[in-house]
Amino acid sequence: MYSMSNVGRNTIAMVLAGGKGERLSPLTLRRAKPSVMFGGKYKIIDFVLSNLFNSGIKKVYILTQYRAFSLNKHIRESWGKWTGLGEFYVAISPETSSESESWFKGTADAILQYLRFVESSDADYVAIFGGDHIYKMDISQMIDYHRRNRADLTLAALEVPAEEATRFGVFSVDDDYRVTAFTEKPKNPEPIPGRSTCFASMGNYIFSTRKLIEVLQEGKKLYEDLDFGKHVIPMMLENKDKVFAYNFNDNLIPGMKAEEKGYWRDVGTIESYYEANMDLINVSPQLNLYNYKWPILTNQGNLPPAKTVFDEDERRGVNVDSYVCAGCITSGGTVRRSILAPRCKVNSYSLVEDSILFENVNVGRRAKIKRAIIDKNITIPDGIEIGYDHDEDRRRGYRVTESGIVVVSNVEVK
């Protein structure tokens, strides 16, 4: 077995974190999808960066692009501070690079623009991971699998039912999990040999360094919008390169509970984002954030503890079945089955139910909020009701999804 320290020394990582996340609008109007809050205190990107860090991979380039300022700031103020000599977590983006470099045109084009970092490293392997999914993974196990197969490319694969596979890029594999074909959103996905399930792409790759350099240099001559799914993987399959699928279900992390095995969420829509957050407050959530053997790291901030105020019959500060982050004050109001990011305040006689409040939301007296997502720095006026009358919510300019989730991103709430 390859030791974690060897993995760290022999691997560099490049995290693709430039996505707009348009289906998460309006939460992504002013921030990139990897910068969206998840679970109160975290950013979505903290999950992949924690996986890399916990796996011993501490030389990481984060390729940012769309609305990059807040994401770059988060990385600089947290991840940039935690590494030591010869280690780094650094955000780079076309917005701050030389004028001759254009914005990324495809996932592989993003790597190509910064191929000099790969070429100048002494790494044997390059881990290329997306920055906008929620999961836990020991990446060193995937690298060990890649090394044992003497692979040119190893693709992280999610085992899904055939009916779900039509939403993904799907790998066809032989009995040894060597990839024979890759098809985007197939109508009739090919199952894994001997099973009824299919291998769906997670968008995470381990390349042998020399092969990555070779295939990207070849690809740039053929495609301007060079992309891993559309171009690089098909090119490598055509060239008979050794491409293998790694079954994510085989990945085990320290302290993992049975219900957490294979947990992976795209959170690419308001509904999926809301459901994944709400799962956290269940008695036994699928994603366990209290596993101290595999912590999800983030910028903790210098904030006081959460606080409840008042204990009178009509005016009681209560948090029930909820995540309430540091700096929050529940002052004579009720919070039930909700997630409150840092520095929120819920004032007297108000009610917040089944909702997600981003950082520094102030809920006025006698306000009522139900099945809503409230963006950061918003003040909810006294007496307002959100989530009770969807026609009224729409008149106020809020987004209401088909399932009835109300998203409030207006700075001025009427």
Which CATH number characterizes residue 374's domain? 2.160.10.10
Give yes or no for residue 282 having a pLDDT over 80. Answer: yes
Q: Give yes or no: residues 44 and 159 share one domain.
A: yes
* Domain harbouring 155, CATH code: 3.90.550.10
Q: Is 22 annotated as a binding residue?
A: no
Phi-psi region of 277 (alpha: psi -120 to 50; beta: other; left: phi over 0): alpha
Q: Give yes or no: residues 251 and 324 share one domain.
A: no
**pLDDT digit string (tens) for 74-106?**
888 888 777 776 788 888 876 444 443 445 667
Q: How many domains does the chain have?
A: 2
Which of the listed residues 279, 298, 333 is the one where a domain comes to its end? 279
What radius of gyration do the chain's Cα atoms show? 23
pLDDT at 1: 44
Give yes or no for residue 54 having a pLDDT over 90. Answer: yes
Burial per residue of 288-321, b for 16 or more beta-carbon CB atoms within 10 angstroms, e otherwise:
bbebeebebebbeeeeeebebbeeeeeebbbbee
Percent of the chain with pLDDT over 90: 76
Residue 292 lies in a domain: no
Q: Give yes or no: residues 86 and 192 share one domain.
A: yes
Give yes or no for residue 382 having a pLDDT over 90. Answer: yes
Q: Give yes or no: residues 358 and 404 share one domain.
A: yes
Q: Give yes or no: residues 237 and 352 share one domain.
A: no
Residue 174 lies in a domain: yes
Q: Give yes or no: residues 247 and 143 share one domain.
A: yes
Q: Give yes or no: residues 97 and 178 share one domain.
A: yes
Q: Is 201 annotated as a binding residue?
A: yes
Give yes or no for residue 8 having a pLDDT over 70. Answer: no
Which residues have a Cβ under 8 Å from the Cβ of 315 and sit 6 or more positions away?
A: 332, 348, 349
Give yes or no for residue 310 having a pLDDT over 70. Answer: yes
Burial of 163 from C-beta contacts in 10 A (0-12 / 13-18 / 19+): exposed
Is the pTM higher than 0.85? The answer reads yes
Residue 189 lies in a domain: yes
Residue 301 lies in a domain: no
Residue 288 lies in a domain: no
pLDDT at 223: 86
Which of the listed residues 279, 296, 327 is the one where a domain comes to its end? 279
Q: Give yes or no: residues 90 and 222 share one domain.
A: yes
pLDDT at 248: 97
Burial of 158 from C-beta contacts in 10 A (0-12 / 13-18 / 19+): buried
Which of the listed residues 279, 298, 322 is the one where a domain comes to its end? 279
Residue 297 lies in a domain: no
What span, in angstroms and rounded, lies between the C-alpha atoms of 134 and 82? Answer: 22
Q: Give yes or no: residues 258 and 315 share one domain.
A: no
Q: Give yes or no: residues 251 and 320 share one domain.
A: no
Q: Give yes or no: residues 270 and 205 share one domain.
A: yes
Q: Kindly indicate the confidence band of residue 411, based on its pLDDT and cuts at 50, 70 and 90.
A: low
Q: Is 327 annotated as a binding residue?
A: no
Give yes or no for residue 295 having a pLDDT over 70. Answer: yes
Residue 295 lies in a domain: no
Residue 255 lies in a domain: yes
Q: Give yes or no: residues 352 and 275 share one domain.
A: no
Domain holding 378, by residue range, is 307-408
Q: Is 159 annotated as a binding residue?
A: no
